Structure 1
């Protein structure tokens, strides 16, 4: 049996059961002016490949798991941002809590850094205009982080648990939320809430046809207030082909945007090129 992965990632640190937040698209006063996004994807899908790369199923048809790209195919790195508002956080949003970080998204645009956003369906329901803008901006790709942000195993950092018979429905409900919000091309990639999974979860999701995406670099940005420490942890961990897990939220990862201002120029100075997860998976298929 594949052991449960309990990666110490941002969505799993700090107050247990509290989901981290996601990305916005319009900044407050003082937000740096972003580079203009490209045109929206056309109805025919020409802005996004019609068949995004995925990994072949694992033994017995299990959902494949992707952690990092090839180490020898150039100095590429994928920054990923979890948008993990949980299903029960609507009252907190209604009370004024912000589950977005417009300044961070604008900074990515200003630096022209492509990124993959793993979004919960609940967040897309809460912020449909922002989800649509992210999904139509060719700088970004939107992937699935479940609808509820409930765990797919037991004992996952205090998160509520999705029952086995609801796992597939939870993932499919997230895709339905993306469609409702106007995201035209959600990717066939799934990130387990908390990074927790086991063989049963992989087997249950095999019918959905997704590639599960983990990471090999933990940014440590959850609830962090020291942007230098976050930047240092990322810079010390990145290797060619790395997938970095981060968050874009004003409340639960307040240091991330400042950390990016150090991370991006330094990695470019070292010769790294920023790519989306889809490019790393495509490279892995070509050179397993």
Structure 2
């Protein structure tokens, strides 16, 4: 609601004349001083932008932002770890990539991290650090990183009745790890989904987030090739999918050191997925 400055000033003048203590007097845009202390729920940030479910009651799928509203691009990083990979982590395999996060911070690049609940359980300090850094936003990548459809890159498949609980379990794991405000965005493991998966996701209120630029960093060994694939594919409003796992994407951080300055030299500005969705009206 927009309040005219003259109206606020008049109210302040009357209150001051009556001897009331109003800190808003002399500052028309400030909120009234006499306001109840906010409850825990009212103090929380406003809900991030989402895409409303479609007419069939299916969760909407977001792939990229507007092409005509400036040269913006969102880098997204999947922090993958499946529910059965605990023994591999215990044996020394690293599913995290703190150097990549450090590089994003050093280069001041906003990013969206799609985190599995199992990853957050394995690396709670890192999950908490990322989730509380205003440079980043954390979104849901399922708890188990099991497929929501059949035949999805060899991933184990969840039964229909486990789809929604898996999403909700991930949010619980993120909260327990210390991520205060996980975003209402969901990335399907492997990017695989169908109508059944979208129907299961809809009641959670989350928007499914895909991408329009594949970095090709998964299991890549050539950082220059990854960088070139991203640079060749990015357009205004693009969402780039990359990975934040050392064992599965060992050259991503090196590629990032090429991608970021080159895109900035081309006039691109890095934003989070929430900003692209907020700039989108009815885009599918």
TM-score, normalised on structure 2?
Answer: 0.84
Summarize the alignment of residues 253-264 of structure 1 with structure 2, pairs less than 5 Å apart.
253-264=249-260
Residues 1:108 and 2:99 aligned together = no
Deviations 1:223-250 (A, max 9, x none): 1110000000000000000000000121
Output the CA distance in 2 between the equivalents of 1:94 and 1:185.
Answer: 29
Structure 2 match to 1:57: 53
Give secondary structure in 1 for the equivalent of 2:56: helix
Structure 2 match to 1:173: 169
Residues 1:220 and 2:216 aligned together = yes
Structure 1 match to 2:11: none
1:78–1:116 CA contact under 8 A, matched in 2: yes
2:79–2:113 CA contact under 8 A, matched in 1: yes
TM-score, normalised on structure 1?
Answer: 0.83
Summarize the alignment of residues 47-196 of structure 1 with structure 2, pairs less than 5 Å apart.
49-196=45-192
1:56: Cα distance to partner? 1.5
* The structure with more radius of gyration: 2
- RMSD value over aligned CA atoms? 1.7
2:62–2:283 CA contact under 8 A, matched in 1: no
1:77–1:240 CA contact under 8 A, matched in 2: yes
Cα gap change, 1:180 to 1:224, in 2 (>3 Å): same
Give secondary structure in 1 for the equivalent of 2:53: coil
1:60: Cα distance to partner? 1.3
Output the CA distance in 1 between the equivalents of 2:201 and 2:266.
Answer: 38
Output the CA distance in 2 between the equivalents of 1:44 and 1:264.
Answer: 38
Cα gap change, 1:241 to 1:249, in 2 (>3 Å): same
Structure 1 stretches of at least 4 aligned residues deviating more than 3 Å after TM superposition? 43-49
1:184: Cα distance to partner? 0.3
1:287: Cα distance to partner? 7.9
In the alignment, structure 1 segments of 5+ residues that lack a partner are 1-42
1:52: Cα distance to partner? 0.2
Cα gap change, 1:230 to 1:48, in 2 (>3 Å): farther
Output the CA distance in 2 between the equivalents of 1:46 and 1:182.
Answer: 20
The structure whose RCO (Cα within 8 Å, separation 6+) is larger is 1
2:74–2:240 CA contact under 8 A, matched in 1: yes
Structure 1 match to 2:13: none
Deviations 1:165-191 (A, max 9, x none): 000000000000011111100000000
Among 253, 267, 279, which residue is 2:275 paired with?
A: 279
Among 263, 268, 288, which residue is 2:264 paired with?
A: 268
Give secondary structure in 1 for the equivalent of 2:169: helix
Cα gap change, 1:125 to 1:74, in 2 (>3 Å): same
Structure 2 match to 1:11: none
